[in-house]
Structure 1
Amino acid sequence: MNQQSATIPTVLERLRSTRALTLALAEPLSDADATIQPFDDASPAKWHLAHTTWFFETFVLRDHQRGYRPFDERFAYLFNSYYETEGERHPRPRRGMLSRPTLDEVRSWRTHVDAALEQILPTLGRSAIELVELGIHHEQQHQELFLTDILATFAANPVEPAYGSLAPNNGSDVAAMTFREGRSGIVQAGARALGFAFDAERPRHDVLLHPHAIADRLVTNGEWRDFMENGGYRDPALWLSEGWAWVCRERVTAPLYWREDGTSFTLGGRRDIDWAAPVSHVSYFEADAFARWAGARLPTEFEWEAFAADKDASAGNQLDEAGAVAPRAGERLFGDVWNWTQSAFAPYPGFKTANGAVGEYNGKFMCGQFVLKGASCATPRGHSRASYRNFFPPHSRWQFTGVRLARDC
């Protein structure tokens, strides 16, 4: 059996399960829930279902199935995200104005595209199979965005509806934070040649690490409360200049979704803050200020990657099935919240974008973004790895983002 025929059943199984999970995530939502957009950077749930379908229809079916006709020609304009090569598109800030197509119509489109993908998959060559694999990982990214965006959507509603139910807070004690010595000297970073990875994770290359140590656990909500009570949001000496301007302009005094009454809004509705759980929904600016207050710093992406190289990336609190998720107390390297690093999202030595529209996937965003490592409670299990490079602008905090400290030795 050749490599391609051995791969197709696995790809088909993963395609089916990924597409099914996206539908299951949308099951609790009404058409109205799935249509609205809380702010420009977030997208409606319906748009996520549609855009991931557009990706497969455009880059796989259109280019690799002879005679394929799009389900609806108008959808290309509505559900392209940022692919300039694919032409004009609906403005991102106005995605929440798309009352049509309905959620049911988007589901019908997904069914149509899924049937066509299953039919064509056994006939595809290696390059097309790689596009399907890219589409699967792309949809997994949107599954996480789906949950964080619906959280933002419901948080903007004064009624504060719950997306689903969450287990009670465990109220466990937190062990004192300790620091473990990281690798130093010349190490290799980036994804290996075999196996799936996004283009920004390659090529694998040498980096020099100076002696350092990394915390054995994430910063907790309780520790963040100490930072707040100690005047952390009022002391400009702790903040980068741009960060302090952001704090003042946006009047930031706590992590996103927190209230002064000791509650936070979650996918399970408003709940008492679990002080033992990792702090979440903090920006790079906040993470950097906290690290400085704590007498530490944020790790570089290469320190973090070397620290995680021999760890199980599929372990920890990550997304296994549809439903509400939240960070939980415990010592885990992957899961719960993405870890901010001090590293700018920049190309590795020898990085080259792919040919065609898919070359726009990562490379053109390598400006003004910071790398996050690990995974979160909303990351589909098996999606991440030590070399994975998530990235967001430094003010972003509607994702499940948190803090793991580092310090020099």
Structure 2
Amino acid sequence: MAAVYPAATPVHDRIPEPLARRYIRVREQSVAICSPLETEDYVVQSMPDASPAKWHLAHTSWFFEQFLLRPLGSGYQPFQAGFEYLFNSYYQTVGPMHLRPERGLLTRPTVNEVLAYRQHVDEHMLKLLAARDEDDEQLAPLVKLGMNHEQQHQELMLTDIKHLFSKNPLLPAYSRKPAPAGEVRSSGPIKFLTFEGGVREIGATGKHFCFDNETPRHRTLVEPYALGDRLVTNGEFLEFIRDGGYRRAEFWLSDGWATVNQEGWSRPFYWSPALDAEFTLRGLQPLDTHAPVCHLSYYEADAFARWAQARLPTEAEWELAAEALPVRGNLLKSEMLRPMPAGESQGLKQMFGDVWEWTASPYGAYPGYRPLAGALGEYNGKFMCNQLVLRGGSCVTPADHVRATYRNFFYPQARWQFMGVRLARDL
């Protein structure tokens, strides 16, 4: 049977202020994401890059315990000795941690013990928030960082669960609920919209929450360019495959071609061998040729762009095109749980949601970048090597988590995340 959250006084009855309300909303969302799971589903790790759902639930609680309750909570007593080792992810400054590829071996603590750990952390966080002013310059930034950190893990939970279920020969569905009803949409031909070049500013100002890798705002030179008005579809990628795309070295970067041959790639991750279906969070579904192609590596995205006589956008080009747009789209709150067709509206479409969009930009520091002080400086800065930037969010990204300046980053061979392609061209 599914794990049950330990009984407690409804948290909404003791919320002292808006920051606490958002804290609880974010924390409850993580548990809600796990509600379709059975106990056995919480524990298994399907590959080294993925983590069990139980570990995600515990690690996000460890984050609040480690960076807020231990240093700021008066008289706080940790829930259980040893959790600081089991649920540390990569913070070397904090101390040693359990090996990432072996998280699926942790049958103990149990799922209910992890949920009790969350309840313990929540109760003490609410006391801390009630005891201090919401605008406390020491407290508020850490709480907001912790909430956004948890939202990152909410997306990871869904992508990791999808990968886990795909490894089961029965191809079980995470969600048995039908997708919300919506208009039937198709995708017309890609139209390239032009944008002026010049010396422009990108990056976050720091006036509102952002991660440190989004700062500082700075000037950059951009040549005139064009962006596709929508994402590349399954149908368009199918044409690439049928034209021998995975067998023609001329479209591939050297590392990409080596990876294709080493891994035996011949189609996007989760597509059926017959190229007529794909595995989704609602189980195996017919391939929608009008929906955005997803679960592509950077190598595949780049090869397709070359085949299409285009290229991938830079992150500066993407951000400048998106900066005036509202954050609307097929995000987690839509409950579609898969990319959807763009439709026939005018202008840029699908800039937020559906799939993270690979850019041609290496993940590195902006001019003048300074990581956060102390252990939290390990959050983003130490990964600025050998990864590429993605923009825009996906169909499993919380809507209040993403923004035009947000920089996601992954290694070029990664495929299990909701990653896709928007084309760009020089003018």
Change (3 A) 1:320 1:172: closer
What is the alpha-carbon distance in structure 2 between the residues aligned to residue 201 and residue 349 of structure 1? 11
- Within the candidate set 359, 362, 376, 2:377 is matched to 359
What is the alpha-carbon distance in structure 2 between the residues aligned to residue 196 and residue 294 of structure 1? 38
Q: Indicate the residue corresponding to 1:5 in structure 2.
A: none
Q: Indicate the residue corresponding to 2:40 in structure 1.
A: 32
Q: Indicate the residue corresponding to 2:142 in structure 1.
A: 131
CA contact (8 A) 1:148 1:400 kept: yes
What is the alpha-carbon distance in structure 2 between the residues aligned to residue 100 and residue 278 of structure 1? 40
1:162 aligns with 2:180: no
What is the alpha-carbon distance in structure 2 between the residues aligned to residue 254 and residue 9 of structure 1? 50
What is the alpha-carbon distance in structure 2 between the residues aligned to residue 176 and residue 121 of structure 1? 52
1:208 aligns with 2:191: no
1:193 Cα deviation (Å)?
A: 2.6
Q: For residue 148 of structure 2, what is the amino acid of its counterpart?
A: H
The residue correspondences of 1:46-195 to structure 2 (distance < 5 A) are: 46-124=54-132, 125-165=136-176, 166-167=178-179, 172-195=185-208
1:263 aligns with 2:277: yes
Change (3 A) 1:66 1:122: same
Give the TM-score normalised by the residue count of structure 1: 0.96
Q: For residue 248 of structure 1, what is the amino acid of its counterpart?
A: N
Q: Indicate the residue corresponding to 2:422 in structure 1.
A: 404
The range that moved more, 169-178 or 46-55, is 169-178
1:341 Cα deviation (Å)?
A: 0.0
Secondary structure of 2:390's partner? strand
What is the alpha-carbon distance in structure 2 between the residues aligned to residue 106 and residue 121 of structure 1? 22
- How many residues of Structure 1 are paired with residues of Structure 2 in the alignment? 400
What is the alpha-carbon distance in structure 2 between the residues aligned to residue 348 and residue 232 of structure 1? 35
Q: Indicate the residue corresponding to 1:307 in structure 2.
A: 321
Q: Indicate the residue corresponding to 1:280 in structure 2.
A: 294
Give the TM-score normalised by the residue count of structure 2: 0.92
CA contact (8 A) 1:183 1:303 kept: no
Secondary structure of 2:361's partner? strand
Q: Unaligned regions of 5+ residues in structure 1, if any?
A: 1-7
CA contact (8 A) 2:301 2:420 kept: yes
Secondary structure of 1:372's partner? strand
1:169 Cα deviation (Å)?
A: 9.8
What is the alpha-carbon distance in structure 2 between the residues aligned to residue 183 and residue 373 of structure 1? 20
CA deviation string 1:16-38 (max 9, x = no partner): 11000000011111221010011
Q: For residue 144 of structure 2, what is the amino acid of its counterpart?
A: E
What is the alpha-carbon distance in structure 2 between the residues aligned to residue 310 and residue 12 of structure 1? 30
Q: For residue 82 of structure 2, what is the amino acid of its counterpart?
A: R
Change (3 A) 1:271 1:170: farther
Q: CA RMSD in A?
A: 1.4
1:17 aligns with 2:35: no
Q: For residue 357 of structure 1, what is the amino acid of its counterpart?
A: A
Change (3 A) 1:115 1:297: same
1:324 Cα deviation (Å)?
A: 6.3
CA contact (8 A) 1:61 1:117 kept: yes
What is the alpha-carbon distance in structure 1 between the residues aligned to residue 269 and residue 296 of structure 2? 7
Secondary structure of 1:320's partner? helix
What is the alpha-carbon distance in structure 2 between the residues aligned to residue 393 and residue 345 of structure 1? 10
Secondary structure of 1:86's partner? coil
1:187 Cα deviation (Å)?
A: 0.7
1:39 Cα deviation (Å)?
A: 0.4
1:192 Cα deviation (Å)?
A: 1.4
Q: For residue 138 of structure 1, what is the amino acid of its counterpart?
A: H
Q: For residue 328 of structure 1, what is the amino acid of its counterpart?
A: M
Moved over 4 A (4+): 168-171
CA contact (8 A) 1:191 1:197 kept: yes
Q: Unaligned regions of 5+ residues in structure 2, if any?
A: 1-15, 343-348
Q: Indicate the residue corresponding to 1:41 in structure 2.
A: 49
The range that moved more, 122-131 or 279-288, is 122-131
What is the alpha-carbon distance in structure 2 between the residues aligned to residue 129 and residue 242 of structure 1? 44
Q: For residue 270 of structure 2, what is the amino acid of its counterpart?
A: Y
1:212 Cα deviation (Å)?
A: 0.6
What is the alpha-carbon distance in structure 2 between the residues aligned to residue 183 and residue 27 of structure 1? 47
1:173 Cα deviation (Å)?
A: 2.9
1:145 Cα deviation (Å)?
A: 0.2
- Within the candidate set 304, 308, 318, 2:331 is matched to 318
CA contact (8 A) 1:215 1:405 kept: yes
Q: Indicate the residue corresponding to 1:371 in structure 2.
A: 389
What is the alpha-carbon distance in structure 2 between the residues aligned to residue 404 and residue 117 of structure 1? 41
1:171 Cα deviation (Å)?
A: 6.3
Q: Indicate the residue corresponding to 1:3 in structure 2.
A: none
CA contact (8 A) 2:312 2:358 kept: yes
